[in-house]
Structure 1
Amino acid sequence: MIFKKLLILSFILLLSFSLKAQKATHTFTLGDSTFLLDGKPFQMISGEMHYPRVPREAWRARMKMAKAMGLNTIGTYVFWNLHEPQEGKFDFSGNNDVAEFVKIAKEEGLWVILRPSPYVCAEWEFGGYPYWLQNKKGLVVRSKEEKYLKEYETYIKEVGKQLAPLQVNHGGNILMVQIENEYGSYGNDKEYLAINQRLFKEAGFDGLLYTCDPPAAIVNGHLPGLLPAINGIDDATRVKKMISENHDGKGPFYIAEWYPAWFDWWGTAHHTISAESYTGRLDNVLSAGISINMYMFHGGTTRGFMNGANYDDSHPYEPQISSYDYDAPLDEAGNATKKFMLFRQVIAKHLPAGQTLPPVPAAKPTIAINDIKLNSSAGILDILPKPVLNKTPLTFEDLNQAYGFVLYHTVISGGKTGILKLNELRDYAVIMINGKKAGVLDRRHNQDSIKLILPPGEVKLDILVENLGRINFGSYLLKNKKGITENVKFNGEEIYDWKMYSLPFSHVNSGTIYKTKISVNTPVLRKGTFRLSKVADTYLDMRKWGKGVVWVNGHNLGRYWSVGPQQTLYLPAEWLKEGNNDIVVFELLKSHVSSLCSRKTAILSELQ
C-alpha cells in the first residue's frame, strides 16, 4: 500500500515537473541595438507564411523547409474575415486553427511573429475585414468610430483567447505582436493607435508590441513607446537611422517586411525578381545585425474567394490571382527554388557558432492526369435558389452574402435596340437575354455598358455578377460593396422589379442536380470524377476554359481566368485520394468545354 502511494506521488511530481518544463517562460525584450532573448542578443531571421494559404496537413512540412533555409522565426497575419465570417460566429477550426499553427511551429523549433492587426492588407479580401462590417451604418474601419471599435474589441479578445497564452512570457513561442498594419500609409491618428495598444493588452497580449510602416509613413504610423519596424527598404544605414530617429535614438533594428519578390493580378505579367539581385542585400542586412522578416518566404495559394484587389483614382481595378506563389524562396507547392538555395547559403554564413542547417527536404513528387471528363452539367439558370424581391437591385451586403455570385433577374419589354448600363458594377457581369449569353462587362476595363438588340415581346434579362475581390489597400476600403451597387438603365430609363438569387458557392455539391445534356451559352456547372492509383501534387491546366472556379473533393482551389498570367490551379496531394476523386468546375464563358487535364508543373506566366 505504501509502495503504491509512493508510486502515485512520484508520478504526480514527475507530471508536475514535466508540465512546468513545457510551460518554461522566456523573456524577449528590446536592447539598445538588438533583441534580447533570455537576456542574450537574438537576431530574428523570419519568413512570412500564412496558415490559410497552406493546407493544414502541410503546415509542418513547410516549417521544416523554413528550418532548412535557416529561418528561426515564422511571421503570420491573423485574418478577421476567416475567424468571424458572420457577426458573432467565430471559427478557429480546421485550416483556421491558428493556435495549432503556432504550436506546430514551436514543435519544429521556430519562434513566431504574430500580426492580428486587425487590418492585414495581404492581397486578401477586404484587407482581412469581414464583409458584414459594411452593413453597420456609419461604421468606419481604421478609425475611432464607436461601432468599429466595438466590433474590433470583440474580435481581438477572441483572438487573445486563442493566442495570448502562446506568448513567450507565458511559455509559448510568440515573440512579438504587431498592432495595426502600415497604418501610417492610411492615417496619422495617434489616439487611434493608442486604442489599438490598449485593446491588445486587454485581450491578453502583454508581451512586446510593435508597429510597422514603409519609410515615408513611419512618422505617421509609429506609436511612441513601441518599436517602429520598417517595411520595404534594406539599406542598413538608412534602416538604423529611421528606426532610431523614431525610437529615442535606439534599436533594435527590424525590417518587418523585406520583399524578395511581388504578387500578381489578372491580366498583367507574372512578377519575378532574380535571386542573385537579392543575395547581396540579404547578406548586408544580416551582417549589420538587423533582424528581418521576408515577405513572403512561402506564399502558397489564395483559395476560395479570398483574393483582394487594388484600386485608386490613378489606376484601374486590379483583382489579384489565386496563386500567391509570389516568386518566393519556397514555391506555391512548398518546394525549394533557386532563391531558397542561394538565400540558404547566405544565412548559413550568419549562424551562431557550432550551428548547422538541416538538409533540404527533397522536392515533392508530382503527377499528370490525362483527360478528366466532366460529362454532367447544370446550367446556372436551372439551379437557382429562392429569390429576394426588390424594386431596385440589392448589393451582396444587402443580401447578407460575403462572396461568390449573385444573379439579378427581371423582365423588360423587347422589340428595340439600346444601351444597357449597370451603374457602379462590382465587379464582373455576364449578361443573358432569354437564357442566352449576350456579353460580359469587366470592371478592370471600366466597362459598365453594353449594346443589346432585344427580340419582340417580353424579354427575360439575367445578369450574373461576380465579386472579384474587395479592395484591400487605401481609401477605397470604405467603398467596398459588391454586386450592382446603384441601378440598371436601358436607354437611360431605370429598370425596376428585380429578383436576386444568392449563389455564394460556399459548398458546391449540396443539392445540385446534374444532367448529362449539354447546357449551351450560359454559365454552367460541370461535374466529373477521376481515378488515381497514387496521389501526388498536380496542377490543373485550365487553358481550354474561360473563367470560373474549381472544386476537387469539396475543396475550393480558387479562380481561373484565361487572361492569365496564371493558367493552372495547384491541387495539393493532401486533398487527393486513391480511387475516385470528384471535380466540379463553374465556367462562366465557355459552356461547351467538358474535359481537362493536369500537369506536373505550374503555368504562372502566360497572358492571353
Structure 2
Amino acid sequence: MQFAVAKRLTALALVAAALGAQAAPSTVPHFAPVGDHFELDGKPFVIRSGEVHYARVPREFWRERLQQMRAMGLNTVTTYVFWNRHEPEPGRFDFSGDLDLAAFIRTARDVGLKVVLRPGPYVCAELDFGGFPAWLLRTPGLRVRSLDPRFMSASARYLKRVAQEVAPLLSSRGGPILMVQVENEYGSYGDDRDYMAAMLAQFREAGFDLPLFTSDGPSPSLLERGTLPGVTSVVNFNGNVDAVKRAFAQFASFRQNAPRMSGEYWAGWFDSWGSRHAKVSPAMAGEAVDYMLGQGISFNLYMAHGGTSFGWMPGANSNGTNYTPDTTSYDYDAAIDEAGRPTRKFHAIRAAIARHLPAGEKLPDLPAPTPTISVPRFSLIESVPLVDTLQSPIRSKMARNMEAYGQGYGFILYRKRFEEAAKGKLELGEARDYIHVMADGATVATVDRRRSESSADVSLKAGSTLDLLVENMGRVNFGASLPDERKGLMDQPSLGGKELNDWEVYPLPLADLSGLRFKRGAPERSGPTFWRGKFRVEAKGSTFLDMRGMGKGHVWVNGHHLGRYWRVGPQQSLFVPAPWLRAGGDNEIIILDLDGAPDAPSLQGLPDPVFTTSG
C-alpha cells in the first residue's frame, strides 16, 4: 500500500538530491568506490570483512573477538545497528554499556580493523521484528518499510541519532567506517522506488556523508528492485565456488564497471526451534574465500562470530502460513563459535586468506580465548507459581493484542472467570505465539502457532478461572508478514461457539524479577512456575547450562536474561558469558519453566554446547 505524502518527489529527484551531497572533494577521499574496485587513500583495497553484532556479545568480549577476527586475516568488521535496542521507547535512546556503538568501532580501529556499518533501519538478522522497535506496532495501521509518514519520521530521528554517535569515525573524516548500508535486502521485500530514494535522502540528511551502498540477492530482479542509481551495490549468497561464480555473473549482467563484493557470504546458518542444527562445510567456506580473493572480490563473512540472541531478541520466519521461531543461540556455525573459540572453519578461512596477503602483510598471532568451564550440578530449591505473582489487572471488554496494552516483549495473560460450568472447544483464532491454556492455575492444553493450532477442548467447573498465558516467541523478521507481527490474541476467543468477553489482562514483560516472593520446595499446584537457586563458580570462564532436564522456558543468571530453552531442540543448552558470572562466589539463577519442571529440578554447566542433530 502506498501512502500519500505532501509534495511527493520522484525517486529520481530524491536520489539526485542525496547524491548532491557527494560533490567531488579536491583531495583524494580516505575511502571510495572507483570504477570496478574500492580505493583506500588512493590505492586499490580489497575488503576482507567478517560480521559480528556488538549487541549480541558482552562488551567485555569485544576486543577479544575483534582480535580473533584480525588474526583470521580480516581487515574489516561489519556490524548491524539494532534500532530496537537503541531506542526502546520513542525518543529514549541508549548507547551505553553493551550498546556503546562508538566504543565498539574505536575498539575495532585499535586492533587494526576497518568498519562497515549497517544501521538499517531494517536489518533482518534473525532479530525480533527485523530490528524495528516493537513500539511502532502500538500505532494502528502504521506500516514499516513504507512512506507512511509516521514510520518515516521515526526512522529519520533514529538515523540522525546514530549518525551523531559515529560522526567522528566516518571515513569522510578520516575514521575507520568505510561505508554505510542503506536499508537491507529491500529487493526481497518490495519495489517502491520512492521509498528507497527517501531512505537514501534520510541517510544524507542525518549526516552520513561517506560512500553508501545497498545489499541484495544477486538475481537481476532483486537488484532491480533493491538498488539505487549511482549507489554501490553488493550481493548476498552462499555456496561453493560455482555458486560464487554464478552470483557475480548475475551481478555483471545487471551492473558493470562497479566494485564486486559479497555483502554477506553465508559461511554458516541459523537454527529454528524444532529444526535440524545447521552446519556448513569449513572446506567449502575456505574455498569460496580463496576464489574471491584470487579474483580481487571483496567479501563479508556472515557470520564471523554469531554470538547470542539474549533475552527477547530472537526473531522468526513465516511464509504467511508456517511460523518458525529462531533459537536463542546465534552460533550460526560461524568461524568463531558462540563461546569465542576458533573452529575448523576459522583455520580453513585463515589459510585461504594467508595465500592472498598483500606484500608485507603478516597475519597476527591468535589470542587465547576466554576458557569455558564446567559447573557441578546444583538444585533449584525455591519456587513460586506464575499465577501467584500476578499484580493488578487491566480490565478489558475485548481481548486485544499485546501492543494495544503498551507491551513489547515477554508474556501476556488473559483471565476469564466463569460463574457457571462451561465445556466445549475453545477457539482462539490467530494467537501469537504459544499459549498455555490453564484452568484454576493448572495447564490443561497448549496451542502452538508453529503447528497452525488455534483451538483446544476445555471443561470448566462453576467458579473456575480460565487463564490464557500467551508467549511472544519472536516477531517475524523477514518477508511480507513482517509489518503485521503484533502479539498476543488477534481475535476474540470463544467457547462452545459463544464469544468470551470481560477479561482481566496481565502484561508480563518480566523485565524485573526482584519482586518475586519464593518459598522453599515445590509448589502445590502444577503449571508455569518460577524456580530459584544458587551455584558457585570457582574459576573464571564461560559455561553452557545443560537444559535437557527441563521443558520450555526462560533463564536469568545474576539478573541477566539468557533467553529461551525448549526441549524440541536443536539447542539444548544456554550460553552464560564469563563476565556475567561471579567467580569465587554465589550466583543466582531464576528459571521460568512453563511445564512446571520436575519436583526437584537440577542443572549443571558444561564446557561445550549441546545440540540435537535432528528436529
Fold shared, TM-score > 0.5 on shorter chain: yes
Residues 182-261 of structure 1 aligned to structure 2 (within 5 Å): 182-216=185-219, 217-232=222-237, 235=243, 237-247=245-255, 249-261=256-268
Distance 2:83 2:429 in 1: 30
In structure 1, the partner of 2:586 is 580
Report how far residue 604 of structure 1 moved: 2.2
Deviations 1:279-329 (A, max 9, x none): 22221111000000011111010000110000013x510000000011110
In structure 1, the partner of 2:534 is 529
Structure 1, 131-140 or 221-230: larger mean CA deviation = 131-140
Report how far residue 472 of structure 1 moved: 0.3
Q: 2:116 is paired with a residue of what secondary structure?
A: strand
Residues 390-429 of structure 1 aligned to structure 2 (within 5 Å): 390-429=396-435
Distance 1:541 1:197 in 2: 46
Q: Give the counterpart of 1:493 among 488, 494, 498.
A: 498
> What letter matches 2:516 in structure 1?
T
Q: 2:612 is paired with a residue of what secondary structure?
A: coil
In structure 1, the partner of 2:272 is 265
Report how far residue 31 of structure 1 moved: 1.7
Q: Does 1:32 align with 2:35?
A: yes
C-alpha spacing 1:239/1:511, structure 2 compared with 1 (3 Å): same
Q: Give the counterpart of 1:379 among 385, 407, 426.
A: 385
Q: Does 1:561 align with 2:561?
A: no
In structure 1, the partner of 2:448 is 442
| TM-score of the superposed pair, with normalisation by structure 1 | 0.93
Q: Give the counterpart of 2:517 among 513, 523, 530.
A: 513
Distance 1:459 1:448 in 2: 22
Residues 127-138 of structure 1 aligned to structure 2 (within 5 Å): 127-138=130-141
Q: 2:197 is paired with a residue of what secondary structure?
A: helix
In structure 1, the partner of 2:16 is none
Report how far residue 350 of structure 1 moved: 0.9
> What letter matches 2:171 in structure 1?
V
Deviations 1:147-189 (A, max 9, x none): 1111111111111111232111213210000001000111122
Distance 1:440 1:244 in 2: 51
Q: Does 1:605 align with 2:612?
A: yes
> What letter matches 1:263 in structure 2?
F
In structure 2, the partner of 1:431 is 437
CA contact (8 A) 1:566 1:606 kept: no
Report how far residue 89 of structure 1 moved: 1.0
Report how far residue 43 of structure 1 moved: 0.3
In structure 1, the partner of 2:318 is 311
CA contact (8 A) 1:25 1:172 kept: no
Residues 75-474 of structure 1 aligned to structure 2 (within 5 Å): 75-216=78-219, 217-232=222-237, 235=243, 237-247=245-255, 249-313=256-320, 316-455=322-461, 457-474=462-479
Q: 1:341 is paired with a residue of what secondary structure?
A: helix
CA contact (8 A) 1:412 1:458 kept: yes
> What letter matches 1:534 in structure 2?
A
Report how far residue 371 of structure 1 moved: 2.0
Report how far residue 261 of structure 1 moved: 1.4
C-alpha RMSD of matched pairs (Å): 1.6
Percent identity between matched residues is 44
* Structure 1 gap segments, 5+ residues each: 1-23
CA contact (8 A) 1:467 1:483 kept: yes
Residues 13-92 of structure 1 aligned to structure 2 (within 5 Å): 27-92=30-95
Deviations 1:557-604 (A, max 9, x none): 110000000000011111111211111111100333521111111012
In structure 1, the partner of 2:484 is 479
CA contact (8 A) 1:228 1:243 kept: no
> What letter matches 1:511 in structure 2?
G
Report how far residue 414 of structure 1 moved: 4.5
Distance 2:163 2:190 in 1: 26
CA contact (8 A) 1:566 1:603 kept: yes
Distance 1:74 1:118 in 2: 19
Deviations 1:335-359 (A, max 9, x none): 0000001110000011111211112
Distance 1:463 1:237 in 2: 52
In structure 1, the partner of 2:5 is none
CA contact (8 A) 1:46 1:294 kept: yes
Distance 2:586 2:613 in 1: 31
Distance 2:552 2:163 in 1: 40
C-alpha spacing 1:415/1:310, structure 2 compared with 1 (3 Å): same
Distance 1:28 1:491 in 2: 67
> What letter matches 1:393 in structure 2?
A
How many residues are treated as equivalent by the alignment?
A: 581
Report how far residue 25 of structure 1 moved: 10
Structure 1, 561-570 or 137-146: larger mean CA deviation = 137-146
Distance 1:64 1:129 in 2: 30
* Structure 2 gap segments, 5+ residues each: 1-26
Distance 2:121 2:47 in 1: 23
CA contact (8 A) 2:386 2:530 kept: yes
CA contact (8 A) 1:25 1:168 kept: no
CA contact (8 A) 1:567 1:606 kept: no
| TM-score of the superposed pair, with normalisation by structure 2 | 0.92
CA contact (8 A) 1:405 1:466 kept: yes
Q: 2:65 is paired with a residue of what secondary structure?
A: helix
Report how far residue 528 of structure 1 moved: 1.0
CA contact (8 A) 2:218 2:248 kept: no
Deviations 1:237-296 (A, max 9, x none): 54444444444x212111101011111100011010111122222211110000000111
CA contact (8 A) 2:30 2:174 kept: no
Distance 1:209 1:523 in 2: 49
Report how far residue 536 of structure 1 moved: 1.0
In structure 1, the partner of 2:15 is none
Structure 1, 573-582 or 406-415: larger mean CA deviation = 406-415
> What letter matches 2:489 in structure 1?
I
Distance 2:127 2:142 in 1: 20
> What letter matches 1:303 in structure 2?
F
Q: 1:367 is paired with a residue of what secondary structure?
A: coil
CA contact (8 A) 1:279 1:342 kept: yes
